[in-house]
Amino acid sequence: MQDIVIIGAGITGCFLAHDLSKYQLKITVFDKENDVANATTMANSAIIHAGHDPKEGTLKAVLNQRGARMYPQICHDLQVEYQICGAYVVAHDEDEIQILKDLKKRADERGIDARFVSSKELLAQEPNVADEIIQALEIPQTAVVNPWQCATALMEEAVLNGVHLKLGSEVIGIDAFDDYFIVHTDQGEIMTKVIINAAGCGCEKIAAMIEDPSFHITYKKGEYFVLSKLAKDFVHHVIYPVPSKLGKGVLAVPTTHGNILLGPNNTVCESEDVSTTQNGMDTVRERLAYIVKNVPYGEIIRSYSGIRPSGNQGDFYIQPSQTYDRLLHVACIDSPGLASAPAISEYVIQKMVQPLLPLQPKMSYVRRKAPIVMEHLSVEEKNRFIRQNPAYGQIICKCENISYQEIVDAIHGPCGAKTIKAVKKRVRAGMGKCQGGICESAVAKILAKELQIPLADVLYDAPGSELGTEAKRCKR
Ligand SMILES: Cc1cc2nc3c(=O)[nH]c(=O)nc-3n(C[C@H](O)[C@H](O)[C@H](O)COP(=O)(O)OP(=O)(O)OC[C@H]3O[C@@H](n4cnc5c(N)ncnc54)[C@H](O)[C@@H]3O)c2cc1C
């Protein structure tokens, strides 16, 4: 019998698993994907919004502010990337300046640093903003993270502290009994006292397995271009248009690795299909022209999209089920879900788990050992590692300078990579300008050797993407 089953290993489920692993609880996490952070957490703008935007009185407002304040310490403890880049919300006319004034008032009331800057000051900092901009609101504390690195690190620490992670396990049914549930997956079933439904776009389907859902999710797709590191000086801050009914709008965002993200649009869609569309990409280009000029489109190396699970109440839906108080819905976690995630976890544990289960802290807690990143080391340190193990000197990904041994380490980590994409998410092999053109086959061979499977069975991503046949490869 488990104390808690968490459904979903996105940033929400990973924070919950990590934070709950500090207590004497039996916990299992299920995810239908074969890696953590493989759904919405993988495809977003990666911004830790300061918390100036969500409407007063919403959970989003409370949890975004708190989450943004929690991130620096958490990222420091996990030894993952956190970069304060600052942001400008830009205005074109008097109506938009009024919106900036409202945002400034909200920021002041929330203790968030914000100040007006003239177009001249703005241009001095960001020469590529559009000429028509007449004023901006600077939010200096805005930061960016690497969402899947953060989620993986959280889950690694959770696993090191006893959490059972079951990837490739789709929850397909739930039966309720007096004081426990049976959770059915396509890989077997498990008994648990409490369920946390953190299934992102799947939350409503999970609820519908056992009750009439009290929330409704609409899928909203957001599409992006990624610029290569050669365009890293295009912008150094997040550039937001003023927010509208459609959300935060199409942005220009510097990433923790020196790439630039351009997007996202916001299109209601029927499924979780994350292919990009010509219409979507055209919309991104068109809206981008509103905030920036001189876009180096020649440096596009990739496009991608993510799906927002948007709730019908315009807010996160974080409540026990109305039928079963031991089924906890952490649903409708659209933006700013990433920025809010540590605070969502804290809120769920304090308000919803504590009344149900005794939370006895563990006597000891195992900290994760951060992986060796050769790129971050001094020449002396690099030489020391290479002398100990020459595979640290054998470069596989030439764009990002990733060595053979860093890939092996990623495969054998506590929440190890089992696919080419999982390697890419952990060490960035294939994230560079050639997008894996040079290193992908070498990465596949390393995976085959380390996982002791035939090369043809190596997966790019989900089952069906085996390298073995051309037809299957096309499904990537
Ligand atoms: C375009 C876009 C831009 C965004 N930008 C930002 C931003 O800049 N800042 C910010 O704060 N937020 C942003 N967000 C929101 C943020 O990405 C999400 O709020 C966050 O990633 C949600 O995480 P999650 O763990 O709740 O969901 P997910 O990451 O989707 O995780 C849910 C998991 O549940 C699993 N699952 C689903 N059904 C089942 C089942 N039946 N059985 C087992 N597993 C199941 C899925 O496989 C998935 O891994 C953005 C979102 C999008 C789409």
CB of residue 338 inside a 6 A radius of ligand 1:
yes
Report how far ligand 1's centroid is from the alpha carbon of 203 (Å): 10
C-alpha 54 chain-centroid distance:
19
360 DSSP assignment: P
Q: What pLDDT does 469 receive?
A: 62
CB of residue 35 inside a 6 A radius of ligand 1:
no
Report how far ligand 1's centroid is from the alpha carbon of 77 (Å): 23
CB of residue 416 inside a 6 A radius of ligand 1:
no
Over the range 218-245, which residues count as b (16 or more CB within 10 Å of their CB) and which as e?
bbbbbbbbbbbbebbebbebbbbbbbee
**Cα(16)–Cα(29) distance, rounded to whole angstroms?**
10
Q: Beta-strand (E) ranges in 345-421?
A: 395-397, 402-403
Q: Which residues contact 367 (CB under 8 A, 6 or more apart)?
A: 77, 157, 160
- 127 phi and psi angles, rounded to 5 deg: -65, -15
Cis peptide before 264 (omega within 30 of 0): yes
Q: Map tokens 């068109």 to a residue.
A: 286
Sign, Cα dihedral of 9, 14, 16, 20: positive
Q: What pLDDT does 470 receive?
A: 59
CB of residue 336 inside a 6 A radius of ligand 1:
yes
Active-site residue flag, 49: yes
Radius of gyration over every alpha carbon of the chain, rounded to an integer in angstroms: 22
CA-based nearest residue to 41, from 159, 200, 197, 163: 200
In one letter, which amino acid is 176?
Answer: A
CB of residue 248 inside a 6 A radius of ligand 1:
no
Rounded to 5°, the CA angle 134-297-240 comes to 35
Report how far ligand 1's centroid is from the alpha carbon of 331 (Å): 10
Report how far ligand 1's centroid is from the alpha carbon of 263 (Å): 17
Q: Are 148 and 31 in contact (CB under 8 A)?
A: no
* Cα-based torsion angle of the residue sequence 202, 12, 276, 149 in order, rounded to the nearest 10 degrees: -140
Nearest protein Cα to ligand 1, atom 44: 31
Alpha helices in 270-334, H assignment, sequence order: 278-288
* Catalytic entry in 18, 49, 52, 237: 49
Distances (CA, A) of 262 to 41, 152, 242, 290, 424: 17, 25, 16, 12, 21
Q: What pLDDT does 433 receive?
A: 85
**Cα(404)–Cα(408) distance, rounded to whole angstroms?**
6
Residue 164's DSSP bridge partners are 28
Pull the structure tokens for residue 116.
């007006």
- DSSP states of 154-183 as a string? HHHHHHHTT-EEETT--EEEEEE-SS-EEE
Closest atom of ligand 1 to CA, residue 33 = 47
Helix or strand holding residue 305 (H, E): strand 300-311
Q: Which of 240, 335, 340, 345 to mutate to test the pocket of ligand 1 (most atoms within 8 A of CB)?
A: 335
Closest atom of ligand 1 to CA, residue 338 = 11
Nearest protein Cα to ligand 1, atom 14: 335
C-alpha 362 chain-centroid distance:
28
Report how far ligand 1's centroid is from the alpha carbon of 219 (Å): 11
CB of residue 136 inside a 6 A radius of ligand 1:
no
Q: Are 3 and 27 in contact (CB under 8 A)?
A: yes
Q: Which of 190, 338, 340, 461 to mutate to test the pocket of ligand 1 (most atoms within 8 A of CB)?
A: 338
pLDDT in single tens digits along all 476 residues of the chain: 999 999 999 999 999 999 999 999 999 999 999 999 999 999 999 999 999 999 999 999 999 999 999 999 999 999 999 999 999 999 999 999 999 999 999 999 999 999 999 999 999 999 999 999 999 999 999 999 999 999 999 999 999 999 999 999 999 999 999 999 999 999 999 999 999 999 999 999 999 999 999 999 999 999 999 999 999 999 999 999 998 877 789 999 999 999 999 999 999 999 999 999 999 999 999 999 999 999 999 999 999 999 999 999 999 999 999 999 999 999 999 999 999 999 999 999 999 999 999 999 999 999 999 999 999 999 999 999 999 999 999 999 999 899 999 999 999 999 999 999 999 999 999 998 888 888 999 999 999 999 999 999 999 999 999 988 654 444 44
Report how far ligand 1's centroid is from the alpha carbon of 10 (Å): 6
CB of residue 406 inside a 6 A radius of ligand 1:
no
CB of residue 307 inside a 6 A radius of ligand 1:
yes
CB of residue 337 inside a 6 A radius of ligand 1:
yes
